[in-house]
Structure 1
Amino acid sequence: MQDNRGATTPRWTYFAVVFAAALGMFAGFAPIFNSTAGIFFGPLTREFGWGRGDASLSYAASMLGLALVSPLVGRLMDRFSVKRVIGVSILLFSISVACMSFQNGGRLLWVGLSLVVGVTGAATSVLGYLAILPQWFDRRLGLAVGIAMCGLGAGAIVMPSLSQALVSAWGWRAAYVALGCGSLILSIPAWLLLKERQPTSGGSVQSLPSGAPNEALAQAVRSYRLWAIFSMFVLASAATLSFGPHLPSMLVGKGFSASSAALSASMVGAGLLVGRILTGILIDRIHAPLVACGFFLAGAVGSYLLRASDAYPVLLGSCFLIGLTIGAEGDMIAYLIRAYFGRRSFGSLFGIAFAGYGLGAVLGPVVVGAYFDRAGSYAAPLQVMPWLLALAGGMALSLGRYQSLGDTEEGRSTKGHHVHASTSRQAFEPQTVVK
């Protein structure tokens, strides 16, 4: 795992940073809140007389909050350090989740608190923890990201079952409080283990003129590549994350039992875990846009088969392919931003790109649900989704190649300083500086 970016850095530091990111995401926004949302639907609808549509507004509101605040969080990470922003987010997110127990049946309070959860939890998600890894890894960045993302996947498996047990034992209000407290307890050691890399005098942002990070950000914001990355993840997340709340219903509509349909979610989860590890391995060896395009096309095939086939094994396979794509998406955002724009203003640019992912996660499920309520079927969304993913794959290919580190401005600035470190960096992951 060690990336050999400096002879003085202990090997354990690299492992500790990856483990901290994995543990933090295990107890962060997605597993604690989003993956457990379905567990609370039943108790809340029974107590307050809500419909499923009312209960599902929580997911959309939280993702909207995440999407809206992501660029600001990224900017704050660049300004005040990633670790400080994560620390504040850990505390506020834990309190926000616990405050979900104050629901009184008012839909405004339900949506408002869910929005606050998304805002406060943004830095406890992929957005915060993966922003640390590019400081430590170049050549093995993909593998480091893939391993860390397994923490998120494990949390998505563990937290729903844990939440169900808490609801059954103590009720839904106590369960929300327990989840908030549990998130804080698990996140504190993760935060303590996180370590930000102190830049060397040769190639650091601090050694450049004071305006260099802002100039790099301004150049990137005018770049086609940044907005292509943003757009392709809007499309991809809208297409794939739409399946989350609707997939079991799709299989029930094809004539399968509820228990058989429930297995579809497990197949998506299996594909998600495999996708995260496989993406991490591949993008360290193959041009990242090619890998992204491949996974997007796999999702397109999966969504096509979901519409075209009624065979149960084929449908489960299609769910696995969709899970592969979802697993790849989170890994790709951080890697592509690092590869094309370097480390200058990484947090700000990562926040912008991640906002696209969050925006798609809001739009997709809402549009699909609204169409089903109107038409009574999923036919049209299932026809559109493969094309959305194919378009995302084409946009990935349009990004072009990135230069090797030694050919970029960051790499050139290290020449003549710290010769050993500069030499060892020649083999690191390609990146470019936007011209």
Structure 2
Amino acid sequence: MTSLRAAEFRRAWPVVLASAFGAGTGAVPLAFYSFGALIDPLSKAFGWSRAEITAAPLFLTIGGLLAGVLAGAAADRWGARPVVIISQIALVVGFAAFAVLPPSLTAFYLGYAMLAILGAGTMTMTWSRAVTGWFVAGRGLALGLSLVGTGLIGAVLPSYIVALVAEYGWRGAYIGLAALPLVLGLPLTLLLFREPEDSVAKDGPAQTSPPGGHSFGAALRTRCFWQMALSMTVVAVAISAVNVHAVPLLTDRGIDPASAAALAGLIGLSVTAGRLVSGFLLDHVRGPVVAFAMFGLPAIACLMLAAAGDNLWLCGLAIAIVGLAAGAEHDIAAYLCAHYFGRQHYGKVYGLLYTLYGVGAGLGPLVAGWAVRATGDYAQALHGGSAMFAVAAALILTVKPPRPLPVPA
């Protein structure tokens, strides 16, 4: 098994590298990890409340609902590579357009919806579709490495945005976001990213994952899919609430903006660790058990964060633990989706799963914003997040594989 895993990595490491940079500069990580550092500048520029501004991720989710499954279906039909390239180019235009944003909440919300639509092909299902095709024995670790760029980008993006806002204003910060997929993501996609089906014609047959599995309709008729979707959606609510509100949560406690941005950057570092740790464990331990641990620990971290006050060490530790769950979630979802439902219709099946827990990611910041407006602080929001993590952990632990498909006579 070890030799097979090594052979897979020798053959497909360029795909993993391109996926890491492409996923890290995709629509969702750039929009979410930058958002917390943009809340106060946008509020000062337009007079919008935090609750109004933090509704924008919900519109990002709505755009994902419209485009996520379609992007997955397009990758199933035409391959992931052309879908990714078109989306990366469109995403550059989408972020750059915010530099001319008028003082209109409607335009602001529509802009975030369009980011998801234009960048749908940069979401997890396209990168993981290729990776799950190249890897069998080392699939978990390969998925973790292929998505590690989202954590690395998340680690530096809050400070990057704070620096851009200070130097060029919030409009310049959006131009800085547009530069990332153009400079980091697209070149590597053009040079290195391809699926195993493409390599058959170029390099000869490869030892890859077979394309069979459940059809889209058959997957949707299983309890397994919907239980996974519910668990992922609930945990996404809690993760995104902490992620997006990390900077204002900390500054409300008297922590200076630079330190708050640095602590928020710990989410990105721990996302990277979460991807690698969960990816390694998925190759050696049952997936639901790995998920239970990764979703259960942040339930304790949210309670810790609620009680930490302005203690930088405790705040940083709690935020880092939540980041572990954020890193693990995509790996776990991609791995279980391929493991339970196969690869033939992976783009559509995982595209729907991704879209559904994207709904949770969109709702999380908005719900937390409402809770803060109603109570005056983040304590109740953090207690609610703790409960959500606990529920999600219990749901994922009790997932049972779907019944095997009948073998054709």
Aligned to 2:50: 52
Residue 100 of structure 1 deviates from its aligned partner by 1.4
Deviations 1:125-173 (A, max 9, x none): 3232222110001111111111122211112233444444444444443
SS at match of 2:185: helix
Q: TM-score, normalised by structure 1?
A: 0.81
Gaps of 5+ in 2: none
Distance of 2:74 and 2:66 partners within structure 1 = 14
For residue 424 of structure 1, what is the aligned residue in structure 2?
Answer: none
Name 2:151's counterpart in structure 1. 153
Letter in 1 for 2:72: G
2:390 counterpart residue number: 390
Aligned runs of 1:376-387 on 2, under 5 Å? 376-387=376-387
Matched, 1:125 2:119: no
Match of 1:366 in 2: 366
Q: Which residue of 2 aligns with 1:431?
A: none
Relative distance call for 1:90 and 1:3 in structure 2 (3 A) is farther
In the alignment, the residues of structure 2 paired with residue 264 and residue 309 of structure 1 have an alpha-carbon distance, to the nearest angstrom, of 13
Q: Give the direction of change, closer, same or farther, for the CA distance of 1:100–1:315 in structure 2 (3 Å limit).
A: closer
How many angstroms apart in 2 are the aligned matches of 1:52 and 1:309?
Answer: 23
Which residue number corresponds to residue 275 of structure 2?
276
Aligned partner letter, 2:59: A
Match of 1:377, SS state, is coil
Which residue matches 2:59?
61
Q: Deviations over 1:282-339 (max 9, x none)?
A: 1111001000001111111111222355583444332222121111112111011011
**Which residue of structure 2 aligns with residue 425 of structure 1?**
none
User: What does residue 344 of structure 2 align with?
Assistant: 344
Task: Write the distance in 1 (CA, Å) between the matches of 2:165 and 2:316.
Answer: 30
Which stretch of structure 1 is more off in the superposition, 300-309 or 279-288?
Answer: 300-309
Q: Which residue of 1 aligns with 2:101?
A: 103
Q: 1:254 to 1:166 in 2, by over 3 A?
A: closer
Q: Report 1:258-407 matches (<5 A).
A: 262=261, 264-308=263-307, 312=311, 313-400=313-400
**What is the CA–CA distance in structure 1 between the aligned matches of 2:206 and 2:394, rounded to whole Å?**
40
Distance 1:328 1:203, change over 3 A: closer
Letter paired with 2:67: V
1:6-21 → structure 2 map (5 Å cutoff)? 12-21=10-19
Does 2:189 match 1:191? yes
Bigger shift: 386-395 or 103-112?
386-395
Asked whether the 8 Å contact 1:74–1:348 carries over to 2, the reply is: yes
* Shift of residue 12, structure 1, vs aligned partner: 4.7
Q: Is the 8 A contact 2:20 2:145 kept in 1?
A: yes
Letter in 1 for 2:245: H
Task: Supply the distance in 2 between the matched residues of 1:261 and 1:186 (Cα, whole angstroms).
Answer: 26
Q: What residue is the counterpart of 2:178 in the other structure?
A: 180
Q: Distance in 1 between matches of 2:102 and 2:251?
A: 33
Structure with the larger RCO, 1 or 2 (CA within 8 Å, 6+ apart): 2
Amino acid at match of 1:114: Y
Q: CA offsets per residue over residues 182-227 of structure 1, 9 Å max, x none?
A: 4223322222211111276999878xxxxx87x6222111001111
Select between 51-60 and 64-73 the one with higher mean Cα deviation. Answer: 51-60
- Classify the secondary structure of the residue corresponding to 1:104: coil
Partner amino acid for 2:331? D
The one-letter amino acid paired with 2:224 is R
| CA distance in 2: counterparts of 1:6 and 1:277, whole angstroms | 16
Q: CA deviation at 1:257?
A: 6.0
Which consecutive unaligned segments of at least 5 residues does structure 1 have?
A: 207-211, 414-435
Query: C-alpha separation between the residues in 1 aligned to 2:152 and 2:376?
Result: 34
Out of 51-60 and 295-304, give the one that drifted further: 51-60
Alpha-carbon distance between aligned partners in 2 of 1:380 and 1:161, rounded to the nearest angstrom: 28
Q: State the match for 1:23 in structure 2.
A: 21
**Distance between the aligned counterparts of 1:339 and 1:65, measured in 2?**
28
Of the structure 1 ranges 30-39 and 72-81, higher mean CA displacement relative to structure 2 is found in: 30-39
Amino acid at match of 1:55: I
Partners of 2:171 and 2:258 in 1: CA distance: 28
Alpha-carbon distance between aligned partners in 2 of 1:251 and 1:170, rounded to the nearest angstrom = 24
Deviates more, 1:177-186 or 1:65-74: 177-186
- The alignment-based identity, stated in percent, is 28
| Pair 1:240 & 2:210 matched | no
What is the aligned partner in structure 2 of residue 229 from structure 1?
228
Report the secondary structure of 1:105's partner residue. coil
Pick which of 241-250 and 370-379 moved more: 241-250
Coordinate RMSD, CA, aligned:
3.2
The verdict on how the C-alpha distance between 1:75 and 1:373 changes in structure 2, with shifts beyond 3 A counting, is same
Preserved contact between residue 32 and residue 183 of structure 1 (Cα < 8 Å): no
CA contact (8 A) 1:122 1:128 kept: no
Contact 1:3 / 1:137 at 8 angstroms: preserved in 2?
no
* Counterparts of 2:338 and 2:153, CA distance in 1: 26
Q: Secondary structure of 1:94's partner?
A: helix
In the alignment, the residues of structure 2 paired with residue 171 and residue 256 of structure 1 have an alpha-carbon distance, to the nearest angstrom, of 22
Letter in 2 for 1:184: L
Paired residues in the alignment total: 400
Query: Which whole-Å CA distance do the structure 2 matches of 1:184 and 1:257 have between them?
Result: 32
* CA shift for structure 1 position 258: 5.8
What is the CA-CA distance between 1:94 and the residue it aligns to?
A: 1.4
Q: Does 1:79 align with 2:77?
A: yes
Q: Aligned match of 1:90 in 48, 64, 88?
A: 88
Contact kept? 1:228, 1:399, Cα under 8 Å: yes
C-alpha separation between the residues in 2 aligned to 1:379 and 1:168?
Answer: 30
Q: Which amino acid aligns with 2:14?
A: A
Cα pair distance change 1:311/1:289, threshold 3 Å: same
Task: Compare 181-190 and 36-45 and name the one that shifted more.
Answer: 36-45
Structure with the largest fraction of helix: 2
Q: Is the 8 A contact 1:3 1:138 kept in 2?
A: no
